[in-house]
Amino acid sequence: QVHLVESGGGSVQAGGSLRLSCAASGYDFSDYGMGWFRQIPGREREGVAAIGTDGSIQYADDVKGRFIISKDYAQNTLYLQMNSLKPEDTAMYYCAADLALTMPANKILGFKGTYGMDYWGKGTLVTVSS
């Protein structure tokens, strides 16, 4: 059974940094695409960063240059390093995995809501104050 557990969220002032972690279990972590999504109350969940099955990496325009997504294959963990945080980054952040054999990062990033990804974590809250 696939499990995704996020951690690392918290409260930080604008300009600060956080690193989110997503511990994955129950499937072959190395073979499948994964992504980070975020949701603000009243708005649709949207992609932030993704790693595709082909190793491609994509970022949403508003986090490019500030966020870095990475995988630790030894630890079966997905990370999101978030730097230069802004108040508009405040959201619930979710980790997701897709078990399709071919899934490029740009496709993962384009998914809205919970459509398209097979498994989700329960989320971790990030709050950025001005």
Q: How high is the pLDDT of residue 62?
A: 96
**For residue 29, what pLDDT is reported?**
75
Whole-angstrom distance, CA of residue 68 vs CA of residue 83 = 8
Phi and psi for 23 in degrees, rounded to 5? Answer: -85, 125
pLDDT tens sequence for the chain (130 residues) = 889 999 999 999 999 999 999 999 988 777 789 999 999 989 999 999 999 999 999 999 999 999 999 999 999 999 999 999 999 999 999 999 998 889 999 999 999 888 889 999 999 999 999 9
Put residue 92 in one of left, alpha, beta given phi > 0 → left and psi -120 to 50 → alpha. beta
